[in-house]
Structure 1
Amino acid sequence: MVKSNLEAEIEQLQNVEKQMRLAADVPGTKKAVTDILQLCFEAKDWKSLNDQILLLSKKRGQLKQAVTAMVQQAMQYIDQTPDVETRVELIKTLNTVSAGKIYVEIERARLIKKLAKIKEEQGLIAEAAELMQEVAVETFGAMAKTEKIAFILEQVRLCLDRQDYVRAQILSKRISPRVFDADSSKEKKKPKEGDDVVEEAPADIPSLLELKRIYYELMIRYYTHNNDYLEICRCYKAIYEIPAVKENPSEWIPVLRKICWYLILSPHDPMQSSLLNSSLEDKNLTEIPKFKLLLKQLVTMEVIQWTSLWHMYKDEFENEKNLLGGSLGDKAAEDLRQRIIEHNILVVSKYYSRITMKRLAELLCLSIQVCLFYCFSCTTFSNLCLLQCVCISVLIFIL
């Protein structure tokens, strides 16, 4: 009885919708289609709801405004569905209706994001990532900037979760880091005639500064895969500059520790040297004096004794896994020793023009064989005269 009443009411509204549509009455058509959907929702007849959405969208000469209103109305019902299967079916129906229609492209992007979230909760990470990659939100002129960035960051995160690092890098290039430095306090310019009217971002979209932190945390995950210590350091540096982080010591101290560690782990080059010197000028380093001392040793042209340095900083090094960002990586301890050796070779190259391999090994606290390996593998061996002298001493040693 209830079912027959529902069908009768829907039929009446369909006649009204037809009259409004043929008369090109936009407000009347929008009200008719949304009333039909509301009837199905109140009756909790989810199958009829899906059928009506498809039927109304395929009507001859259906108005764009009516389709938009219908999709937006049905999206409000998604979170009120009784189970996951019904929710997925409704989302798929709305995706079918919105596919290829530029006037509901933003709604379609939001629907795909919801569907991808459901797939992820079911453990289908690969499917969720592929779904998200179907949408190129950077071309959506009417979508709010923060919503675009949040969508792309979700694409990057899912690619990292499925260990698709190539795709993650490609997607991350769609966001320019300069966008996070935009002054949001400036008044928005009024759109010119013919320009897209930018919609307001949904309430659950993070602010621009929050998105900045999410972006750099994802980039840290990407660069950690490649053990690109200098880029990881630069990412932490960007997080460190966020006002909300700088104002809270419990936030910036772990970040500053990470900056120091990754600076030391980075191979010596002009960028690393510049960051090292600028970091030493940071007044906040006085709050972590051991790390200030560590950085000073790196800029001082004196040989560093590895055993004493490791004894002093081993606990701090291992404690990083309990702080923000987690451990420094599986190879970090080995790479740290290599960086200290490279530093020592640079120091030796400054003070010696000729040196025997035996003496060099003594200064570096290494065996001759290990010293020889580091000399020829060290990319920072800048003094060619010293390299020639080492080669001569090697020949003498062999003979």
Structure 2
Amino acid sequence: MPEEVKQLEDYSKDVDALLSEIKDTADLTRSQIGESVERITVLEKKARNANDLKSTSRLVVKAVNMAIAQKNLDKLKEIVHGFAKKHGQMRTVIVEAVRAASGICDDQVEDVYTLQGQQREDLIQSLRTITEGKMFLEAERARLTYILSHVLLSRNETRKARDVLAELSVETFGSLDRRQKTDYLLQQAFLNAQIGDWVQMKIVTNKINVKFFKEEDTQEQKLRYYEYLIRYAVHNDEYLNACRYYREVYDTDVIKSDESRSKVVLENIVYFVLLAPFNHEQHDLLHRIFADQTFNTPKLQYQYNLLKCFTTPELMRWAGLEALYGQILKSTDVFSNRSTDGKGQARFDEFHKRVLEHNVRVVYKYYTNITLKRLQSFLEVDERQVEEILSSLVQNGTIYAKIDRPAKVITFTKPKKTEDVLNDFTNNITKLLSLVETVNYQIEKEKAVQEAFK
């Protein structure tokens, strides 16, 4: 498409005269529309050859609006395609034509009738054909594709809607602002989540720059973004990430100002940090949350008490813990059998495992050796479960343990290597020689003092 050049002639007066004679009301006959379009076409050619951009745009948009007023879809497609293919047609004119025609496809556009059903989809596909491969129409193509995905989604063709929207690499579109790009990417993430394509959903969300959410009026997009990340994290049992995402959700004015929503978010922060496997990051985040006075309130009393249990190096009795908190936990969407993903009971079993692991770490802190039966009485589980918990903690490097099966004794003291024993011996000899030297110095000093007084 050639670039617009300097205007050679002004046809504004001719256009004014022609448009004042032509009506775009619905009572025009097909022959009258054909006549009017023919007259517009003649003048449009003159204006186009003279590079009169304003006049050409007015004429083309007028022809489009006439077909819209008549609700004549075939004529509308013929007009738009016809003017778009004219030799030397200016880019702005094509953009205006496509934009005017696509207005009846968008439910949010007021003051025009909106196409529905198959006619709507046909027009969208027709206009998308015009925009294909044209960079100057990428914004219009993105808008049409976005509308088409909603049309397909309304017909429960979710996968097809995802595939259509996935054709757009909106992150590379220079004509779209950050807000529009974010909306399109969030819609792609939503459709991927709906069909269970979690990997693709994560790839799409990674294209969104979180710095955008620091701008004004972006809270809705921020909440949608973290909603999808939370769904991804929970689906993959990434509980520590889910906790972090919920903290970002809470750091939103619309959540903080809503007491009921903020309470649920704060509860989920606690639940997911407790569900996360123990490591340095989890330990640090757990203690920071416990130290946060936001959680030390009457409305979060039970959750705060749970935090206190897990941050205190004392044994927890599962029977008592379940009796006290079991019903409360199972009433939440995280642990309920009616949870969104149906994994509530599995997470409750995981929570039981975290309690057992906490108790093993407490025992490891105070014992060097313990019988299997004694540890079993602490954990209140059978011997097989004790060994499973120990094996899990040893495997991830949390503790060191060795079981003497014939004697049924567990040793928590890690045996030293030959090099370590030799190093300790060397260090001890060095300390001993240092002490001997110090004592010798003190003795010599005392002798010198006594000699001085003689």
TM-score clears 0.5: yes
Match of 1:238 in 2: 248
Amino acid at match of 1:252: S
Q: Does 1:215 align with 2:225?
A: yes
**Pairwise CA RMSD:** 1.9
Match of 2:35 in 1: 8
1:330-375 Cα shifts (integer Å, max 9, x gaps): 4111101111111111111101111121111111112222211221
1:66 to 56, 76, 93: 93
Superposed counterparts of 1:47-66, under 5 Å: 47-66=74-93
Change in Cα spacing, 1:382 to 1:42, as seen in structure 2 (3 Å) is closer
Say if 2:178 and 2:212, in contact at 8 Å, map to a contact too. Answer: no
Amino acid at match of 1:396: A
Say if 1:345 and 1:381, in contact at 8 Å, map to a contact too. Answer: no
Q: Does the residue aligned with 1:396 lie in a helix, a strand or coil? A: coil
Say if 2:104 and 2:115, in contact at 8 Å, map to a contact too. Answer: no
Q: Measure the CA separation in 2 of the matches of 1:116 and 1:330.
A: 36
Amino acid at match of 1:160: A
Q: Measure the CA separation in 2 of the matches of 1:265 and 1:31.
A: 63
Change in Cα spacing, 1:383 to 1:41, as seen in structure 2 (3 Å) is closer
1:250 to 254, 260, 266: 260
Cα offset, 1:5, TM superposition: 1.1
Q: Which runs of 4+ in 1 moved over 6 A?
A: none
Match of 1:369 in 2: 384
Say if 1:53 and 1:93, in contact at 8 Å, map to a contact too. Answer: no
1:121 to 118, 137, 154: 154
Q: Does the residue aligned with 2:288 lie in a helix, a strand or coil? A: helix
1:121-165 Cα shifts (integer Å, max 9, x gaps): 111111000011100111122312111111101101101111111
Q: Does 1:382 align with 2:398?
A: yes
1:150-201 Cα shifts (integer Å, max 9, x gaps): 1101101101111111111111110133332x344xxxxxxxxxxxxxxxxx
1:206-247 Cα shifts (integer Å, max 9, x gaps): x31211111001111111211111111111111011122122
Q: Measure the CA separation in 2 of the matches of 1:213 and 1:329.
A: 23
Match of 1:275 in 2: 285
Say if 1:346 and 1:381, in contact at 8 Å, map to a contact too. Answer: no
Say if 2:138 and 2:175, in contact at 8 Å, map to a contact too. Answer: no
Q: Measure the CA separation in 2 of the matches of 1:318 and 1:367.
A: 24
Q: Which has the higher contact order (CA 8 A, sep 6+)?
A: 1
Cα offset, 1:298, TM superposition: 0.2
Q: Does the residue aligned with 2:315 lie in a helix, a strand or coil? A: coil
Say if 1:342 and 1:380, in contact at 8 Å, map to a contact too. Answer: no
Amino acid at match of 2:366: Y
Q: Does 1:284 align with 2:301?
A: no
Q: Measure the CA separation in 2 of the matches of 1:136 and 1:20.
A: 36
Q: Measure the CA separation in 2 of the matches of 1:293 and 1:311.
A: 14
Identity of aligned residues (%): 28
Cα offset, 1:57, TM superposition: 0.8
Q: Tell me the TM-score normalized by structure 2.
A: 0.78
Amino acid at match of 1:45: N
Cα offset, 1:382, TM superposition: 2.5
Cα offset, 1:328, TM superposition: 6.8
Q: Measure the CA separation in 1 of the matches of 2:181 and 2:73.
A: 31
Name stretches of at least 5 consecutive residues in structure 2 with no aligned partner: 1-27, 107-112, 410-454
Q: Measure the CA separation in 2 of the matches of 1:298 and 1:342.
A: 10
